[in-house]
């Protein structure tokens, strides 16, 4: 076992990375005088990981869409005492989520974190799948999928992804489809579990007033050493252009909803960290609530308070910038946004606005250092991206307004953009 200290001289903060002999890396951020402890046991496995191979399989194999989310549901199943009953005995709050590229199991507690950690490590390493309990879950997840399909905002979002991506599985709902989950069997669940829930593909992140030696002692006792499977996932080549420029659907909504999406080239490591930082700052300056464009559209009644923007991605797989909201004329919002992008490409960003946006983002990072939940999430995400929690702040010091302007060609290319609109049902 060896240990690294990840330190920031700028902030006077640090956390430990322990390379455990089981194959798992353990990230610990000790926060003295904090009453709450947060932990996440996460695997680099999400809805997009449907085509993969290992040293043992040799060739790539494909599995049904939605299986990562199905696995998340089933891991709370136990042959003995239900997991949530165990957590109730410790007073901890437990949860789990599946994203495009990650599945994580978490707990938060203000007492007895040691026992909660034992529960977390134990149940995630003890899958219990039977024909009966897998079949029972199928109906539950099918209802969940149908509920998502009845959500206008969810439909708008996935229609946008289906419009900008021709092949990439990010366009498929994280839960899969009713047809795809019908193919899931206990055997398939075990195959995917044994592949992706290998400790070499996972990380344990903990933030709070914990004792590092005690964490290691629990891990020594509970973790089951694993062999590195040399896991490799494959994603289709996308190329330039989109599947459709405009997609519409009808739902019972008062005002049309819209998602405007831009497909960008995927990247990883520090290039990824820099690109996501630039994208978020550029979006805020282009159409954030304090931008001239937002104020104009708001004053004209083309936007309201139901508005947002984001950049989300998976290191080395996909990268999306998006703008979403309600509008009586989404196409006009799209046209005006594209025009603003072209204007800024020629004229550049206002230096004062850039400095305000950069300071705001820097302030958000500083505030995160006081949140056990925020730090646990940041450690996990940065680990899977091949970076550290401090890298974004260090990059922010060097990013300029000109860097943001120069990135517009790649981040907001009209050829790689599309709009998804949810229209009110016509009577």
**In what helix (H) or strand (E) does residue 41 lie, and over which residues does it extend?**
strand 37-43
Cβ distance 375 to 389 under 8 Å?
yes
Determine the 3-state secondary structure of 331 from DSSP. helix
Instruction: Look at the block and give the residue holding tokens 């659907």.
Output: 249
Instruction: Look at the block and give the residue holding tokens 């410790």.
Output: 90
Lateral strand order in the sheet of 232-233: 61-62, 51-53, 232-233
Our answer to whether residue 72 is catalytic in this structure is yes
Nearest Cα to 425, choosing from 178, 254, 258, 233? 254
Read off the DSSP letter of residue 201.
Answer: G
| Alpha carbon distance 92, 86 (integer Å) | 9
- Burial status of residue 398 (CB atoms within 10 A of its CB: 0-12, 13-18, 19 or more): exposed
CA distances from 176 to 5, 129, 150, 172, 263 (A): 40, 19, 15, 6, 21
Catalytic residue among 72, 273, 340, 392: 72
CA distances from 246 to 79, 199, 242, 426 (A): 49, 43, 10, 19
Q: Which residues are catalytic?
A: 72
């Amino acid at each position: 076992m060896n240990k690294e200290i990840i330190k920031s001289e700028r902030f006077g903060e640090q956390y430990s990375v322990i390379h455990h002999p089981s194959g798992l890396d353990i990230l610990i951020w000790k926060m003295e005088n904090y009453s709450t402890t947060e932990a996440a046991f996460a695997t680099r496995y999400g809805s997009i990981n449907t085509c993969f191979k290992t040293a043992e399989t040799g060739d790539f194999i494909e599995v049904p869409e939605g299986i990562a989310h199905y696995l998340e549901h089933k891991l709370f199943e136990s042959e003995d005492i239900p997991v949530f009953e165990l957590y109730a005995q410790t007073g901890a709050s437990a949860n789990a989520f599946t994203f495009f590229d990650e599945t994580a199991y978490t707990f938060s507690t203000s007492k007895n974190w040691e026992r909660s950690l034992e529960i977390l490590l134990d149940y995630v390493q003890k899958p219990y799948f039977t024909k009966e309990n897998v079949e029972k879950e199928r109906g539950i997840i099918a209802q969940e999928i149908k509920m998502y399909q009845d959500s206008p905002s969810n439909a708008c979002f996935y229609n946008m992804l289906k419009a900008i991506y021709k092949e990439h599985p990010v366009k498929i709902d994280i839960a899969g489809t009713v047809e795809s989950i019908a193919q899931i069997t206990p055997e398939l669940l075990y195959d995917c579990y044994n592949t992706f829930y290998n400790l070499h593909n996972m990380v344990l992140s903990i933030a709070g007033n914990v004792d590092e030696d005690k964490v290691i002692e629990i891990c020594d006792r509970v973790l089951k050493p694993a062999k590195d499977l040399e896991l490799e996932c494959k994603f289709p080549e996308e190329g330039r252009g989109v599947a459709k420029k405009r997609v519409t659907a009808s739902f019972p909504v008062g005002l049309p909803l819209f998602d405007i999406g831009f497909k960008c080239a995927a990247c990883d490591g520090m290039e990824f960290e820099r690109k996501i930082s630039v994208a978020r700052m550029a979006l805020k300056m282009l159409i954030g609530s304090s931008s001239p464009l937002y104020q104009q559209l708001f004053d004209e009644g083309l936007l309201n308070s139901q508005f947002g923007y984001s950049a989300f991605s998976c290191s080395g797989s996909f990268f999306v910038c998006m703008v979403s909201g309600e509008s009586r004329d989404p196409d006009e919002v799209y046209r005006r946004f594209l025009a603003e992008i072209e204007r800024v490409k020629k004229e550049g960003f206002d230096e004062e606005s850039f400095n305000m946006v950069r300071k705001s983002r820097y302030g958000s990072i500083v505030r995160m250092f006081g949140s056990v939940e925020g730090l646990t999430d940041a450690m996990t995400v940065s680990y899977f991206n091949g970076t550290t929690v401090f890298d974004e702040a260090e990059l922010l010091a060097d990013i300029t307004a000109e860097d943001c302007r120069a990135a517009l060609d790649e981040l907001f290319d009209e050829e790689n953009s599309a709009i998804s609109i949810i229209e009110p049902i016509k009577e």
